[in-house]
Chain A
């Protein structure tokens, strides 16, 4: 079995009476790309801060690369790269000056390696550009370059592609997978479903608790009690009222000009339409659809 790059056991953090992280146990293995999904305030960032040795656990343990985060903080940090959602770049410095600065902090003095890192992220042509003048997608790449310049074995990403479009996001994730193929492990917190879909396994957090951790495909199979349907009707609010009270329907929500409905397998399309007819909502149509991680998330968290 692969080595655990991260292993937490009943990891807990209290702030006074408030339990920010509540007995969280999980493992992340070498070369894995694992997501950590949850609403604001669910304990994602507190978990990361403990993994980085910035906060001491109240109880339980966390080991990163085999070392106890509460004891060997320095040794861990030398081997971990961290990229936060607010890319900490010096806007007044050039791309090269930014990476040089961070490399020096980490004791990485091999200029050729710096140049290669920029090259790999497609930033070579922008060496002398001011970081503050770069579009978001490029700033994001520079932030990644900085996070990996000291050749870390574990990369922790905090909402790395928040606010970027699908093309930039995709390019970014292609890079993450390239790095993972070379044996780097990635741990990614996010509250975007689009982003979580890119992870091999996804943990779902709520109020400090880890509710589930599995591959997106298995989460869709196990966490969702039933099947997903898109139900269209001219009177969407009438349809919503009829279906949210229907036996066997676990969730009905407005999704634009249609509803997203999660229903037990005993409820099929004709049954949904019959319910609408019975409630006087005419012209209803139901189509079985592939559930998304958002459906899983709302089933577990909502």
Chain B
């Protein structure tokens, strides 16, 4: 028998007036999985997370958390959820430990339970030595870890994270993900995380690309990249602006993207001779210096852009 999904949500739908924010979305999270919800602003990521944690009422669909129906037994289902919103709130004038106590008591942890749990979770996120510091005096990265600790203090099985690393620097983001992945690997927690960042999406076990409230593609990062295999060319040379101009006119090139010192060309189909054809096409007429044209492994960003442009959607 298959392992019970920590989250089993089917046909989620929510409209705000005439706008369908989430439209028939299925979300499944198994123990030990990190599932990424990836999409542009307004794709419905935050709404989907709020539906799943019961903060918003569903227009249609069903949500079950660890097998418990969220609509029938909301309180019991929510006991298993840890939720970190984009702007989580904390009491700036309370200490770190007092903040965690507050989260723990809201979650119904008893007097004799909360402190050992709080100490354990603060040690886990590295805030142990700062338990008595006022939350308002923490750095941005430490505040974010306090938020994570608050979401974890009641040992939830399912973590819902809404763009958790918005506005924090790369070293802090790296730390945050290392913590998250450790928690998943050691405790079998399941995570549903929304993000606009492709390097974060690449860290997920599975990724769901969303647009206009719907899933447009889903799979492991590797399987999503595989869909564009043989279709992404890297071009380096000078002048790059002229190469870009010529690339856009090449037959078989669907899309050209300028990165700092190179171009990525997306081919309509993987032909095997794409690199040579592009090379000779770009050289025609002279006046440019082509350093390199080569096939490269597609990045998730390439996949995202291709799907946004209407690449064949999942059936």
Residues of A with Cβ closer than 8 Å to B? 33, 35, 38-40, 135-137, 162-168, 170, 173-174, 177, 181, 191-194, 196-202, 215-217, 236-237, 253-257, 289-290, 292, 294, 297-298, 301-302
Q: Once bound together, how far apart are the Cα atoms of A174 and B258, in whole Å?
A: 7
CB distance from A221 to the nearest CB of B (A): 12
B171: chain A residues within 8 A (beta carbon): 39, 298, 301-302
Number of interchain pairs (Cβ within 8 Å):
123
Give the residue of A165, A192, A215 whose beta carbon is less than 8 angstroms from that of B40. Answer: A165
CB distance from B153 to the nearest CB of A (A): 22
Known: A164-B196, A198-B258. A256 touches B34 (CB 8 A): yes
Known: A177-B241, A201-B260, A236-B181. A167 touches B197 (CB 8 A): no
B41: chain A residues within 8 A (beta carbon): 135-137, 164-165, 168
Q: Once bound together, how far apart are the Cα atoms of A215 and B262, in whole Å?
A: 10
Known: A193-B199, A254-B182, A290-B297. A177 touches B258 (CB 8 A): yes
A interface SS class: mixed
- Please tell me if the beta carbons of A181 and B241 are within 8 angstroms of each other in the complex: yes
- Please tell me if the beta carbons of B196 and A166 are within 8 angstroms of each other in the complex: yes
A236: chain B residues within 8 A (beta carbon): 181, 185
Q: Once bound together, how far apart are the Cα atoms of A212 and B62, in whole Å?
A: 52
CB distance from A41 to the nearest CB of B (A): 8
Interface string of B166-208 (1 = CB under 8 A from A): 1111111010011001100110000000001111001111000
Give the residue of A166, A168, A191, A201 whose beta carbon is less than 8 angstroms from that of B170. Answer: A191
- Please tell me if the beta carbons of A39 and B181 are within 8 angstroms of each other in the complex: no
B197: chain A residues within 8 A (beta carbon): 192, 194
CB distance from B199 to the nearest CB of A (A): 6
Interface string of B249-263 (1 = CB under 8 A from A): 000000001111110
Is B236 located at the chain interface by the 8 A CB criterion?
yes
Residues of B with Cβ closer than 8 Å to A? 34, 39-43, 139-141, 163, 166-172, 174, 177-178, 181-182, 185-186, 196-199, 202-205, 221, 236, 241, 257-262, 296-297, 301, 304-305, 308
Known: A165-B39, A170-B305. A193 touches B170 (CB 8 A): yes
Q: Once bound together, how far apart are the Cα atoms of A60 and B28, in whole Å?
A: 57
Q: Once bound together, how far apart are the Cα atoms of A302 and B261, in whole Å?
A: 25
A181: chain B residues within 8 A (beta carbon): 241
A237: chain B residues within 8 A (beta carbon): 182, 185-186
Chain A, residue nearest B140 (CB): A40
- Please tell me if the beta carbons of B178 and A253 are within 8 angstroms of each other in the complex: yes
Q: Once bound together, how far apart are the Cα atoms of A275 and B61, in whole Å?
A: 48
B168: chain A residues within 8 A (beta carbon): 40, 191
B182: chain A residues within 8 A (beta carbon): 237, 254
- Please tell me if the beta carbons of A163 and B167 are within 8 angstroms of each other in the complex: yes
- Please tell me if the beta carbons of B297 and A292 are within 8 angstroms of each other in the complex: no
